[in-house]
Amino acid sequence: MKLKQIVTKPHMFMVAGLLVPGLGTADSKPTGPIGGKPSSLYRTAFNSLFLMFVLFLMGCGHGVTLMPTPEVLRDEKFDIFAHNPNLEKSNKISVFYATNRIPAQGPSGPDYTKSFDHTLRFGEATLQIGSDEVTWEEIHAESTTAERKDEFEISLIRTMEVGRLNNSESLEQIPEDTQNFLDKLNNAIAESPFKTLTIYVHGANSSFYRAAAQGGQYHYFTGSRAIVLVFSWPSAENILKYTTDVKNTKETAPDFIRLLKLLEKHCNAKRINIIAYSAGGRLTGDALGRMGREYMDTGAEPVREPYRFGELYFTSSDEDLYEFVDNVPSYIHMFEGVTLTIDKKDPVLGFAKITDGELRAGRPPQDAANFDLTDAQNEGLTQTINSGRFTIINLEINKIPGFEFSHGAWYENPWVSTDVITTLNLGFQPERRGLAKYKGYLDRGVWYFPPDYLEKLKSSLLDRKK
């Protein structure tokens, strides 16, 4: 029996948003403590509640379908599946996972619930692309083209928990079952040509299934070469309980820190990358900020060692903008690069702002005058940008035909997903990735996708092969 989950698709905020004027439009004015009339706040809140109702009706029955093929992979010269000699030609894929969710026994292994404690549980999740009847050749053909004949739903068919580590156990002398998990993880990394580990931290309103499916499709579109560890934190799995998710990210931060410290001591990856999506950006930024300040409290500047962090990619980050500005200077030196995508029209982050009136890192204000930094914050942000490790990408600035905005752009938009894969697996600087720069927000250097983005990126990839 296959395990499936009823979910809502993030891009439906864009679809439904057309029915609800005033949400996330270019002429929207700040609300809450930033300014704006009460009537505007009331109207926007009413529209958002209506939107959530529409989302609920539209979302019923939908699982995760295989994301659009990243743009560069549509060129046969960059068929990454053909360049993986160890590729298993199967419609099944596997990802590793870590979670602090409490399991219930399901028909195909642990079924992780919305309840949680502070015990880390480790295992492997097996997913299937399409039905039992779909062949590898059919999936491959549809995975290397722009126009698909069919959509393939991703199913979670098995979970296998391998180890546990409670919050009182040492990170030095770990239990045998946890060591067994780490041995499996290290063996997979050793067999991967990248020799890296990518941690995927999901967003709000997400089940264990959805997190595994999203992490799994990233793994798939690297030609199954990138080793992925999904960190499934305890979302309430209900858009109406968004504030519960916010609280849970804060309570989960120590568990995520503990996972990162465990990997520091026992993972053999040359680099550890992180994709932090939406509310996953809130959790990741909080945890890394705490870790960075641990270094500062000892008088030492944070450096990449011993964590071996590679790239950190914040996509549609839900982290409070001022908290992001406070946190990022403390950990920027721990990474080779940190990327933040922004979209001042992001409707989902616009809804998030309505709940507490706070700006979001992934959705800065329309008017920079509404973004007041202290001298210390301004200095920290300047140092972060001058470090040469920080990239801001404005998804609104582009002239590419078919470039569609969505909260889930990292997997729904073929250009953005291309940038995520290129950045994490090759570590290219933004210009080498085909991005262009302009003097943008707050007079800082901001990057965007130019019309010749794809040609420039392909040239960089071909030069790399020489």
- Sorting pLDDT into bands at 50, 70 and 90, what band is 303? low
Predicted confidence band at 454 (pLDDT cuts at 50, 70, 90)?
Answer: very high
pLDDT digit string (tens) for 72-81? 999 988 988 8
**Res 439: pLDDT:** 75
Higher pLDDT, residue 338 or 62: 338
Name which of 69, 70, 67 is nearest 433 in CA terms: 70
Residues 6+ apart with CB under 8 A from 138: 130, 150
**Mean per-residue pLDDT for 277-303?**
86
- DSSP letter at 459 equals H
Residue 239: the pLDDT is: 87
- Residues 235/205, Cβ–Cβ less than 8 Å: yes
Residue 434 predicted with pLDDT over 50: yes
pLDDT band of residue 404 (cuts 50, 70, 90) is confident
Q: What single-letter amino acid sits at 257?
A: I
Q: In this structure, which CATH number among 3.40.50.720, 3.90.960.10, 3.10.20.740, 3.40.50.1820 belongs to the domain 12-465? A: 3.40.50.1820
How do residues 71-107 score in pLDDT, each as one tens digit?
999 998 898 887 777 778 889 999 999 999 999 988 8
Cβ distance 346 to 314 under 8 Å?
A: no
Closest by CA to 9, choosing from 415, 406, 418, 414, is: 406
Query: What's the sign of the alpha-carbon dihedral 350, 352, 355, 361?
Result: negative
Average pLDDT over residues 163-169: 95
The span from the CA of 366 to the CA of 361, in Å, is 13
Question: Is-contact 179 163, C-beta < 8 A?
Answer: yes
R_g (Cα) of the chain, nearest Å: 21
Which tokens belong to 177? 């079952």
* Domain layout of the chain by residue ranges: 12-465
Mean pLDDT of the chain: 85
How sure is the predictor about 370, in pLDDT bands with cuts at 50, 70 and 90? low
Amino acid identity of residue 125, one-letter, is A
- The whole-number pLDDT of residue 121 equals 98
Burial class (CB in 10 A: 0-12, 13-18, 19+), 305: exposed
Residue 10 binned pLDDT confidence (cut-offs 50, 70, 90): very low
- Whole-Å CA distances, 304 to 92, 129, 331, 381: 35, 36, 9, 19
Q: Tell me, what's the pLDDT at 444?
A: 66
Out of 108-112, 121-125, 186-190, 418-422, least confident range: 108-112
CB 143 within 8 A of CB 68: no
* C-alpha–C-alpha distance, residues 69 and 176, integer Å: 40
Query: Model's pTM, two decimal places?
Result: 0.87
pLDDT tens profile 231-274: 999 999 998 999 999 999 999 999 999 999 999 999 999 999 99
pLDDT of residue 87: 76
**170 Cβ contact list (under 8 Å, min separation 6):** none
Taking CA atoms, 120 is separated from 89, 132, 185, in Å, by 32, 33, 15
**Average pLDDT rounded to a whole number, residues 98-125:** 95
What pLDDT score does 278 carry?
98
